[in-house]
């Protein structure tokens, strides 16, 4: 699925503007004691090492939402805004990656498969990386990939591209 004609590109400047808009529109979000229930993936040992490195690089806030705890706690999962944004590292390869009509974007050098979900926001999964990283966003992000900007750097530094 390395054909670039199937993937649209989101320039870094557009992503940065989207992130700035999000930060400006969600200033009142704060961390709470609530824990987001998040299923923990079961990746191979090599993927776990990438995921642990990613976990250490994750931002404290994304789109104005502060990082919150997950239940159960794991270095393979993270959440922001009590589950508005959920990250899972080491997930299986999504079946949608085999679909020639699949949609994807590239943000600051990291490719993401885009999956629209009924009744909630989108799910994004990294493409062409040694471990798959999944981001699930709630419905407030239904048409907004801006949060991907916050994850492109950490993913790019810790999860190597496939060769």
Whether residue 28 has a cis bond before it, omega within 30° of 0: no
Task: Take residue 29 and report the two structure tokens written for it.
Answer: 């979000």
Q: Please write the tens of the pLDDT for every residue from 106-127.
A: 999 999 999 999 889 999 999 9
**Averaged pLDDT for residues 13-34:** 37
Residue 13 burial (CB < 10 Å; 0-12/13-18/19+)? exposed
Residues with Cβ < 8 Å from 60, sequence gap 6 or more?
Answer: 66, 67
Task: Take residue 152 and report the two structure tokens written for it.
Answer: 């492109």
Please report, for the chain, the start and end positions of each structural domain, with discontinuous segments joined by +: 4-158
Q: What is the pLDDT of residue 152?
A: 97
Residue 6 has pLDDT above 60, yes or no: no
């Amino acid at each position: 699925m390395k054909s670039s004609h199937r993937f649209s590109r989101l320039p870094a400047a557009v992503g940065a503007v989207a992130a700035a808009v999000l930060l400006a529109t969600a200033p009142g979000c704060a961390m709470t004691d609530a824990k987001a229930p998040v299923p923990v993936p079961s990746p191979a040992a090599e993927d776990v090492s990438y995921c642990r490195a990613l976990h250490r690089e994750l931002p404290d806030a994304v789109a104005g939402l502060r990082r919150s705890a997950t239940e159960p706690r794991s270095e393979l999962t993270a959440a922001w805004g009590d589950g508005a944004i959920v990250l899972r590292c080491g997930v299986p390869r999504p079946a949608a990656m085999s679909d020639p009509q699949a949609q994807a974007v590239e943000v600051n050098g990291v490719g993401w498969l885009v999956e629209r979900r009924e009744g909630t926001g989108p799910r994004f999964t990294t493409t062409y990386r040694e471990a798959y990283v999944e981001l699930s966003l709630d419905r407030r992000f239904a048409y907004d990939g801006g949060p991907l900007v916050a994850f492109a750097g950490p993913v790019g530094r810790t999860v190597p591209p496939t060769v």
